[in-house]
Amino acid sequence: MTPDWYIIALLCVVAAAAGWVDAVSGGGGLLQLPALLLVTPADQPASALGTNKLSSIFGTSAAAITYGRIEMPRLRTALPMAAAAFVGAAFGSLTAIHLPPGIFRPIILVALIVVWLFIAFRRTFGLEGREVSRGRHLVTAIVGGVAIGFYDGAIGPGTGSFLIVLLVAAVGYTFLQASATAKIVNVGTNAASLIVFGLSGSVLWLVGLLMAACNVAGAVVGARMAIVRGSEFVRRVLLVVTAVLIAVLAVQTFRG
């Protein structure tokens, strides 16, 4: 089922905004996925998830390239983490096809509240980098990659935010370094999910590609703004995005 042209136009506007948010702090799915859920059949949520991944992978790739030209992603973490996240996202996407994502919401809600409080009350968190051991980079990449990849495949919104906070807390990156690195990992998770959803016929290809063009435009603008304004800007946007995600998940959880 292809939505009417004016619905597609609105989805493209949402995709541009989502690309900007995702490039700066992660969490673009907060905008894009609910919009898709409104226009896809209620009994086919996987179609919204799959189409969201198609749009997002283009925007995330554009953001990764934009960051890479100025703020080089930390490849020693990004590449193994992207590989681990690819595997996790594939299993998460398979779960999303067969199980309702609502079963994960209470756990994710508590985790997000802890993350928000941690960022809000540790004002220097993520503003200055620190060095950690190579082994810690590898453990964080593999364990964190699988866990967050699974979440991205099963639910999606807020994945980039989780990645940024993990990279800052576990391996000492600044918010800007973490945001640049997270984009490479996000490409891996989006690719795995897109393969699974595509093979199951759960992607609206025309809609997703049109949204992708707008998502790319928003992502490039967002990445450039983050580079110019620095880690404090990323921190502020991250706090806002995380607060919104907490509110959305709280409503969904307590409505049952």
How do residues 80-93 score in pLDDT, each as one tens digit?
A: 999 999 999 999 88
- Predicted pLDDT of residue 48: 86
- Predicted pLDDT of residue 110: 83
Residue 213, number of CB atoms within 10 A of its CB: 15
How do residues 89-133 score in pLDDT, each as one tens digit?
A: 999 888 877 766 566 678 778 878 888 888 888 878 778 878 888
Which tokens belong to 71? 């703020």
Evaluate if residue 212 carries a pLDDT over 70.
yes
Average pLDDT over residues 227-235: 91
- Predicted pLDDT of residue 20: 96
- Predicted pLDDT of residue 23: 93
Instruction: Tell me how far apart the alpha carbons of residues 240 and 31 are, in angstroms, rounded to a whole number.
Output: 13
The CA-atom distances, in angstroms, between 228 and each of 71, 176, 232 are 10, 10, 11
Average pLDDT, the chain: 87
> Which class for 78: exposed (0-12), middle (13-18), buried (19 or more C-beta within 10 A)?
buried
The CA-atom distances, in angstroms, between 143 and each of 5, 63, 81, 224, 241 are 43, 24, 8, 30, 24
Evaluate if residue 249 carries a pLDDT over 80.
no
Residue 192, number of CB atoms within 10 A of its CB: 24
What residue has token string 């995330």?
60
Angle subtended at Cα 65 by Cα 57 and Cα 172, rounded to the nearest 5 degrees:
95
**What type of residue is 94?**
L
Residue bearing the bigger pLDDT, 232 or 155 = 232
105-109, 171-175, 200-204: which has the minimum mean pLDDT?
A: 105-109
Residue bearing the bigger pLDDT, 19 or 2 = 19
Residue bearing the bigger pLDDT, 17 or 100 = 17
Which tokens belong to 83? 């590989």
Evaluate if residue 178 carries a pLDDT over 80.
yes
